[in-house]
Amino acid sequence: MPPCLLQSKGRYVRPGLRRDLGMPLAANLTEPLKEAIAASGHKSSEFRIKRAFNRDQAQKYREEKLEPTAAMGSVQLDEIKLRRVFQKLDLDGGDVLNAKMLKHFFHQMGKTVDSNEIDGMIAMVDPKEQGFASYEDFAAIFTNPAEGLRQVNAEYVRD
C-alpha cells in the first residue's frame, strides 16, 4: 500500500470513499517536514509522521461530521412531526398502530425485538387496553409524557 493512502485504525480507506466523504486523498507534508524526515535517517519516520497526520485529519473529520446530540428533554415534538411519525409506522393507513406494524418497523431498521417487548411498547401507548394504539394515545405519550404515563396500567404493561 502506498504511504500516501489514508488509514483509519489500521484499516485501509478507499480513495473513492475518501473523495466522496471530502477527506484528503494523501498526507500532504510540507517540504521542510519532508527534508527533516529524510535527514533523520530513520526508515520508519516518514511512515510514522504520515500516520500521525492521517490520525489527526481523521479526528478533525469526525469532529466536523458529528452532530451535537440534544440534551434530555430538549426536543419538542409538534403535532406535524408526531403525525408524520405515526403515519410512517401506520402501514395500512387504518390510523392505529399494532404489534405487527412495530415489529415490521424494527425489522426494517435491522433490529430484532422480542414479541414481549413489542407488546410492552403497544401497552405503553394503549391506555384503553385495546391491543393497538390510536393516534390520540400515541400523541398523548409524546406531547406530555408525565401525564400520558400516569394513565398507563402498569399491570397491563407487565402482562
Note the pLDDT tens digit of each residue in 11-55. 556 677 667 767 666 666 677 777 776 777 776 776 777 777 788
pTM, full prediction: 0.47
Domains of the chain and CATH, by start = 15-66 (no CATH), 79-149 (1.10.238.10)
Report the distance separating Cα 128 and Cα 152, nearest Å. 9
pLDDT at 43: 67
pLDDT at 154: 75
pLDDT above 90: percentage of residues in the chain: 0
Query: CB under 8 Å to 98, separation ≥6 — which residues?
Result: 122, 131, 132, 133
pLDDT of 102-130, one tens digit each?
888 888 888 888 888 888 888 888 878 88
